[in-house]
């Protein structure tokens, strides 16, 4: 069933507090015509790299040319994050971000909204154990990119999953997000250190401001400091597409521009305007709700079923392959090991240009979004502390 796009305020507020991460709006990446903003500096196109070998080749090429590219953002400082040695697994394409750092474009989303609602100790334990198991399954399946957030209340489980998987921390791209009540000069640096403890690590690969609310400018100043100290390898803004004033305050006025913008983006909401805006600064788009949160209208769409039958793939695999060929980074969520495996088995085929066009024709613009919060009205709400 499709979710309501606009909820009544009290219901939404409660849902936000309990489910958190939820997100409020979204977007997509690349450019208006769906290509990556800059082939050399940003998303790696995969339209002509449909096989695992081809994807590995493109990663190698990116590494070879990286030294010769002058990136628009200063590199992260020396520090723990310098140990990072993320490699492209299972043919997953890497994108070279605007600071020269490489990120795998397919990751595991770890928000489990159904388990966030039980705030009892038992509920928290189940949430973290489920997250731990999902992370272990994903890393064993070849994923090297994980997306969590303080707001998901599961960073402890995600960190433990990394340890239990046996995969070296340095080979994993680990993303998390700060909640707005953690924003502010001094406040945010303390919140980052607390986050590192929950995750049982000494650096984060990509750290977002989760929502454009509260003192996001003060928070960004601390993020810049953490970046220069090598505690963080890349900086991101999440849902800032929903509030232009906040977007421009960070992107236009701060010393270090974001590397990634995380937004709602899927075939029903392809977010061309936001993609074009981000491309102006070579900001990579990362898609939340890449599968439309398993909306049946999307997963049963005739167009996608026909393409899936033609390739002997599932509709979910077709959607994720579309994300990759559009140049997006995507973090599909799953707690089912079979789905987790299925979702990374998308690098042994390629969608044709005609198929890409058919999926592009499914776009409903802003009407296709599931969440579209008004941050000017909701901003104060997002600064409410939560127990995580």
Ligand X SMILES: NC(=O)c1ccc[n+]([C@@H]2O[C@H](COP(=O)([O-])OP(=O)(O)OC[C@H]3O[C@@H](n4cnc5c(N)ncnc54)[C@H](OP(=O)(O)O)[C@@H]3O)[C@@H](O)[C@H]2O)c1
Query: Rounded to an integer, what distance in angstroms lies between the CA atom of residue 198 and that of residue 131?
Result: 13
The nearer residue to ligand X, 311 or 339, going by C-beta atoms, is: 339
Establish if 111 lies at the interface with ligand X (CB under 6 A).
yes
3-state SS assignment for residue 269 = strand
Q: How far is the CB of 294 from ligand X (least distance, A)?
A: 3
152 is catalytic: yes
Number of Cβ within a 10 Å radius of residue 68: 7
The nearer residue to ligand X, 58 or 369, going by C-beta atoms, is: 369
The alpha carbon dihedral of 62, 68, 74, 80 has a sign of positive
Long-range contacts of 130-133 (CB under 8 A, 24+ apart): 130/154, 130/157, 130/335, 131/157, 131/158, 131/161, 132/157, 132/158, 132/160, 132/161, 132/164, 133/161, 133/335
Query: Rounded to an integer, what distance in angstroms lies between the CA atom of residue 324 and that of residue 304?
Result: 16
Q: How far is the CB of 93 from ligand X (least distance, A)?
A: 19
Query: Rounded to an integer, what distance in angstroms lies between the CA atom of residue 381 and that of residue 288?
Result: 21
Instruction: Indicate the length of the chain as a whole number.
Output: 388
3-state SS assignment for residue 22 = coil
The nearer residue to ligand X, 88 or 213, going by C-beta atoms, is: 213
The nearer residue to ligand X, 179 or 203, going by C-beta atoms, is: 179
Which residues within the stretch 117-176 sit at the binding site for ligand X (CB under 6 A)? 147
Nearest to 210 by CA among 5, 15, 21: 21
Establish if 382 lies at the interface with ligand X (CB under 6 A).
no
Which residues within the stretch 299-328 sit at the binding site for ligand X (CB under 6 A)? 316
Q: How far is the CB of 188 from ligand X (least distance, A)?
A: 17
Question: Candidates 194-202, 284-292, 352-360, 372-380 — which segment interacts with ligand X by CB under 6 A?
Answer: 284-292
The nearer residue to ligand X, 243 or 288, going by C-beta atoms, is: 288
What's the token pair of residue 376? 């000017």
Establish if 109 lies at the interface with ligand X (CB under 6 A).
yes
Q: How far is the CB of 212 from ligand X (least distance, A)?
A: 11
The nearer residue to ligand X, 318 or 356, going by C-beta atoms, is: 318
- For the chain, the distance separating the N- and C-terminal CA atoms, rounded to the nearest angstrom, is 29
Which residues within the stretch 244-273 sit at the binding site for ligand X (CB under 6 A)? 262
Number of Cβ within a 10 Å radius of residue 53: 11
Establish if 274 lies at the interface with ligand X (CB under 6 A).
no
Q: Which residue is it, tokens 């997306």?
A: 147
Establish if 16 lies at the interface with ligand X (CB under 6 A).
no
Q: How far is the CB of 245 from ligand X (least distance, A)?
A: 19
Q: How far is the CB of 66 from ligand X (least distance, A)?
A: 28
Q: What is the CA radius of gyration of the chain?
A: 19
Establish if 343 lies at the interface with ligand X (CB under 6 A).
yes
Question: Candidates 50-58, 115-123, 329-337, 361-369 — which segment interacts with ligand X by CB under 6 A?
Answer: 329-337
Query: Rounded to an integer, what distance in angstroms lies between the CA atom of residue 211 and that of residue 103?
Result: 22
Q: Which residue is nearest to ligand X (CB)?
A: 333
Establish if 195 lies at the interface with ligand X (CB under 6 A).
no
For ligand X, the binding residue among 239, 259, 325, 329 (CB under 6 A) is 239
Question: Candidates 7-15, 19-27, 242-250, 376-384 — which segment interacts with ligand X by CB under 6 A?
Answer: 19-27
Q: How far is the CB of 254 from ligand X (least distance, A)?
A: 20
Query: Rounded to an integer, what distance in angstroms lies between the CA atom of residue 237 and that of residue 302?
Result: 34
What's the token pair of residue 145? 């990119």
Question: Candidates 83-91, 108-116, 224-232, 246-254 — which segment interacts with ligand X by CB under 6 A?
Answer: 108-116
Query: Rounded to an integer, what distance in angstroms lies between the CA atom of residue 64 and that of residue 75?
Result: 17
Establish if 29 lies at the interface with ligand X (CB under 6 A).
no
Q: Which residues are catalytic?
A: 152
Positions in the binding site for ligand X (CB under 6 A): 21-23, 109-111, 147, 238-239, 262, 288-294, 316, 331-336, 339, 342-343
């Amino acid at each position: 069933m499709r979710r309501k796009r606009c909820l009544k305020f009290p219901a939404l507020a409660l849902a936000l507090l309990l489910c958190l991460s939820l997100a409020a709006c979204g977007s997509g990446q690349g450019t208006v015509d769906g290509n990556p903003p800059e082939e050399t500096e940003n998303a790696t196109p995969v339209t002509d790299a449909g096989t695992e070998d081809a994807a590995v080749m493109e990663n190698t090429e990116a590494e070879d040319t990286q030294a010769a590219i002058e990136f628009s953002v200063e590199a992260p400082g020396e520090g723990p994050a310098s140990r990072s040695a993320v490699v492209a697994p299972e043919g997953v394409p890497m994108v070279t971000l605007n600071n020269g750092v490489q990120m795998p474009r397919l990751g595991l989303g770890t928000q489990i909204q159904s388990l966030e609602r039980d705030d009892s100790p038992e509920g928290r334990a189940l949430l973290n154990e489920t997250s731990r198991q999902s992370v272990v399954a994903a890393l064993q399946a070849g994923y090297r990119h994980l997306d969590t957030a303080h707001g998901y209340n599961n960073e402890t489980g995600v960190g433990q999953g990394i340890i239990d998987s046996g995969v070296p921390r340095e080979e994993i791209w680990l993303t998390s997000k700060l909640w707005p009540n953690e924003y502010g000069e001094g406040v945010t640096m303390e919140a980052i250190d607390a986050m590192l403890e929950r995750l049982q690590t000494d650096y984060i690969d990509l750290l977002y401001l989760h929502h454009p609310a509260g003192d996001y400018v003060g928070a960004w100043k601390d993020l810049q400091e953490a970046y220069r100290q090598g505690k963080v390898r890349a900086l991101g803004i999440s849902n800032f597409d929903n509030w232009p004033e906040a977007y421009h305050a960070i992107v236009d006025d701060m010393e270090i521009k974001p590397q990634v913008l995380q937004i709602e983006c899927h075939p029903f909401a392809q977010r061309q305007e936001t993609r074009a805006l981000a491309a102006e600064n070579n900001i990579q788009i990362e898609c939340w709700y890449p599968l439309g949160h398993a909306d049946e209208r999307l997963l049963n769409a005739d167009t996608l079923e026909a393409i899936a039958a033609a390739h002997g793939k599932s509709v979910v695999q077709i959607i994720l392959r579309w994300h990759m060929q559009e140049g997006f980074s995507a973090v599909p969520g799953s707690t089912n090991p079979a789905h987790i495996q299925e979702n990374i088995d998308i690098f042994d085929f390629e969608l044709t240009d005609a198929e890409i066009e058919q999926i592009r024709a499914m776009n409903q613009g802003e009407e296709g979004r599931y969440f579209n919060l008004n941050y000017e009205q909701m901003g104060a709400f997002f600064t409410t502390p939560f127990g995580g």
